[in-house]
Structure formats: C-alpha cells, structure tokens
Structure 1
Amino acid sequence: MKLIKLDAIDSTNDFLKALASHDEPDNFTVVTAETQSKGKGQMGAKWQSESGKNLIMSVLVKDFVFDNQQVFDLTVVVALSVTEVLKSLNIPDISIKWPNDIMSYNKKIGGILIENTFKSDGRILSVVGLGLNVNQTNFENLPNASSLALIVKTQFDKEIFPNLIVEKIKQKIALWLTHSTLFWSEYFDTLFRKGVPMPFKNLENQNFMGIIQGVSSSGKVQILLEDDSVSEFDIKEVQMLY
C-alpha cells in the first residue's frame, strides 16, 4: 500500500483524483491529511474535522467497478470494511446509516464519499474518501456527532487505521465474486434503525412515517409506508429524522 501523507490540503479526494488523472498510481494508493479545508460529505455537505485529531483519508480503487450498476457494490465493501475494523477495536453498537454514514449508538462517527471517474478507455476509477472521528472531543453545534475517544473514553493512534481499513477492503474485493450475496446480507443486517418505525422527510419537506426494509442493488433505500406499500428513495429524495 502506497501512502501519501499530507499536512494540509483542500480535499484528499480531489488530490487523489488529480493524481490519477495525470499519472497511473498503484491500486489502493492512500492519501491522508491532518486537516482539509474543503472536506466533502454527501450531497455537497461540508465535512468538518478538528486538525490532527481525526482520520482523513482517500484510497484509489481500480478494477472493481465496471459499470453504473456496480457503483453501490463498492459502498457495501467499504462500509463493511470500516465497521469490521471498528468492531475489532471493541467500539460498541456499530451500524451503517444509509447509505454510508458510520454510527455508534445513535451518533455519527464517520462518513464515506465515493467518487467515480470514467476514463476514455472505459475503465472506472473510484476514489473512496473516509472521514472518521477518532480523538476529537468537541462537537459544538453538532449534536448528532461523536468520536471513538468519546465513546470508549480512550485516545487512539489514528495512524493504525489506513492499513487496517485498506487490508479489509482488499480482502472483500478479492472475495466479492463468490461472497457478494453474503456481503449484501451483512450490509442489510448492519443498517441503522432497520425494521424500526421512524420519521422521514421527502423532497416536498413533508414528514412521513416509515420502516426501512433494505436497500436496492442500485443503492436506493426501500421504505415500508403506512399504506403497506414499499417505495424506493434515492439519497437526494429522502431524509431520515432521528
């Protein structure tokens, strides 16, 4: 695993995408930073992180996603890799809030953002961005956020995480063709608030009650509505209220 360590950068995802557009970096090349000024979350949200306290990393994944139908497969692989590493470190009550937030109890401790680049030769290069709250303890104005240090009352060496996570990703990619059904099942089983009645908000800012049933192969959440129908929603179409 090639590791590029940066002190400060606008975005590790942007840095790695630019590197891949000009050179041919090795598969699973990793970029980390102590701080980034333009960290990104889903739907353009800004990912805020206290300098030097947390894991900020991006990893290049080649030769796994070959068409649009497989894009969410990588989300499954990465989310499960992160949750397995955290469980191995005895972080309690780990779950995945659809589509790719990492939770402990009902607090967000991490987020994943995958950006795909379609090359002229037909290849798809994926840049997996991960922010994980490790040793930060101040989350003023972020009531739903927490960190590993707050949850288990101890400080962590954040330098251990890139190798642990990338090795898990490699293992799951190697097993994907024969174990994809199992991985999808594990992803479903790990979903935050799956099977529990809870409120949601739609694009029209209307609140409604529903129960998460699962996720489609294209990554849409499947919600059982009050009329007993099941509807699928894309990430931009529904917000979970918790």
Structure 2
Amino acid sequence: MKLIKLSAIDSTNLFLKNLAENTLLENSTVVMAENQTAGRGQMHTVWKSEPGKNLTFSVFERLDQLSVAEQRYLNYAAALSVWECLEELGVANVQIKWPNDIMAGHAKICGLLVENTLKGTDVVATVIGIGLNVNQSFKEITSFKATSLVDVLEQEFPLEMVLRTWYTSFEKYMAYLNNRDYDLLESRYLKVLYKKNVPSMFKTAENELFLGKIVGVSTAGKLRVELADETHRDFGIKEISFA
C-alpha cells in the first residue's frame, strides 16, 4: 500500500481519479484525508464526517480481465474487505446492506463508493472510496441510524491502525477477485447480506409500499426481492428502500 495523507480535500475519490488520469499510479495507492469536505455516496448523495475522527480514504486498483458483466464481484470484494476488518476489530453482527453499506446491528457504520473506469467491455481500473465511522459518536443523533467503532466498542482507535487492518483484508479479497474465485465472493457476500430472507416492508422510488424479502443479487448486480406471490423482482440503486 502506497499511502498519501492529506489534511483536507473535497473528495478523496475525485482527487485519486484525477491523479490516475495524469500519473501512472501504483496499484493499491491510497489517499487518506483528515478532513473530507465533499464526500460522496451512491448516486451523488453527500457524506459528511467530523474532521480527524473517522477514516475517509480512497484506493486505486488496476484490474485485469474483469468484464463489465462481472463488476458486481468487485463490489463484493470491496464490501467484504470492510466487513472482515470490522469483524477483526471485534464488532458484532456486521452485515452488508446492498449494495455497499456496512451495518453494525441496524445502524450504518460505513459506506463505500465504487467508481470504475471502463474500456470496451472490460473494467480496467477502479477507485473505491470508503467512509468508516471510527471515533465520532452518533449516540446523540436521532435523525438517522448511524454508529461507529467508539459507539459499539466503547474505545477509540488509531485511524492508521484501522486502515492497515482493512488493507490486510482488502489484499485477500482482491486476490480472490484476480484469481476469479467468483463463487466464493458471492457466497460470502450473500451469507452476510442485510435482512436476507427476512420478510420486510419496502418502498419503491414511486412510493409504492409492498411486502417482500431479499433473496439475493441478480447477474446484473440488482437486488432480487421475492414478492408476496412468490415471484421475483429486481431493483437497481435508489429504486427501492426499506419502508
């Protein structure tokens, strides 16, 4: 891991993407910011973090022989690396909320943003942005369900130590990806998928409410939900949420 530390930046993903366009970057180049002023989540949502309290970083990877049709396995590897890191640190009941949020119990502890560079039908490089709540407490915040390592484990952690714990897992899961161990990645991801096979109320982007249960992820990377009549329906990002 080649680590670049910044005191402040608008977005580590944007910084690293711009750097990759103008420089021949080493694999596993990581940009870590003490203060990220315009962090982004899926579909351009905003992610904010208290300066110096959390891990806000992005990693660059060049990929070989990963087709666009297989890019969901990259998402699996990225999410599983954070899931395993939190398990290693002692967080209980860690699950992955499709596509790339990491939950501790029923509260979000981490979000990921995977942005790929495509060439023809292949994914040739990726920048993975990770925002992990570490030493910022969310116990007094009631507007949304979030948590952190300090909330869950009642102790603070050196940020770089957590980063290096994550990187050990990331190396492993990227090796699975590069070795095309796709069945292993998918089975591990589905095993810890949040609310899989649990009857739940959902809401579509059109505010349609319905009862269903998550049964998996489609080959296109969409969330597969079994409806009350036992038929299946696939949903893309922002097309569905828990009611």
Range of TM-score over shorter length: over 0.9
Residue 145 (structure 1) aligned with residue 146 (structure 2): yes
Cα deviation, residue 163, structure 1? 2.3
Q: Decide whether aligned partners of structure 1 residues 142 and 8 sit closer, same or farther in structure 2, where only a CA change above 3 A counts.
A: farther
Residue 194 (structure 1) aligned with residue 196 (structure 2): yes
Distance 2:236 2:193 in 1: 16
User: Residues 139-165 of structure 1: CA distance to partner in whole angstroms, max 9, x if unpaired?
Assistant: 635431111100111111111122222
Q: Which residue of 1 aligns with 2:38?
A: 38
Q: Which residue of 2 aligns with 1:206?
A: 208
Distance 1:77 1:222 in 2: 19
Secondary structure of 1:88 counterpart: helix
Distance 2:166 2:71 in 1: 19
More moved, 36-45 vs 62-71? 62-71
Q: What TM-score do you get using the length of structure 1 for normalisation?
A: 0.94
Cα deviation, residue 136, structure 1? 0.3
Q: Which residue of 1 aligns with 2:94?
A: 94
Does the Cα contact within 8 Å between 1:65 and 1:71 map onto a contact in 2? no
Q: Which residue of 2 aligns with 1:9?
A: 9
Distance 1:175 1:102 in 2: 20
Q: Which residue of 2 aligns with 1:220?
A: 222
Letter in 1 for 2:209: N
Q: Which residue of 1 aligns with 2:60?
A: 60
User: Residues 160-199 of structure 1: CA distance to partner in whole angstroms, max 9, x if unpaired?
Assistant: 1222222322222223335321221110010111111111
Cα deviation, residue 226, structure 1? 1.0
Cα deviation, residue 240, structure 1? 2.2
Distance 1:49 1:231 in 2: 35
Structure 1 unaligned blocks of 5 or more:
none
Distance 1:209 1:236 in 2: 17
Residue 129 (structure 1) aligned with residue 163 (structure 2): no
Distance 1:142 1:12 in 2: 26
User: Residues 16-50 of structure 1: CA distance to partner in whole angstroms, max 9, x if unpaired?
Assistant: 00000001110010000011111001111100111
Q: Which residue of 2 aligns with 1:231?
A: 233
Distance 2:123 2:109 in 1: 32
CA-atom RMSD, angstroms? Answer: 1.8
Secondary structure of 1:66 counterpart: strand
Does the Cα contact within 8 Å between 2:68 and 2:118 map onto a contact in 1? no
Secondary structure of 1:200 counterpart: strand
Does the Cα contact within 8 Å between 2:116 and 2:123 map onto a contact in 1? no
Does the Cα contact within 8 Å between 2:73 and 2:185 map onto a contact in 1? no
Distance 1:70 1:173 in 2: 14
Q: Which residue of 2 aligns with 1:168?
A: 169
Does the Cα contact within 8 Å between 1:119 and 1:125 map onto a contact in 2? no
Distance 1:228 1:65 in 2: 37
Cα deviation, residue 65, structure 1? 6.3
| Count of residues paired in the alignment | 241
Letter in 2 for 1:47: W
Q: Decide whether aligned partners of structure 1 residues 172 and 2 sit closer, same or farther in structure 2, where only a CA change above 3 A counts.
A: same
Distance 2:108 2:123 in 1: 33
Cα deviation, residue 228, structure 1? 1.1
Distance 2:125 2:148 in 1: 30
Secondary structure of 1:30 counterpart: strand
Q: Which residue of 2 aligns with 1:103?
A: 103
Does the Cα contact within 8 Å between 1:7 and 1:35 map onto a contact in 2? yes
- State the percentage of identical aligned residues: 42
Does the Cα contact within 8 Å between 1:94 and 1:102 map onto a contact in 2? yes
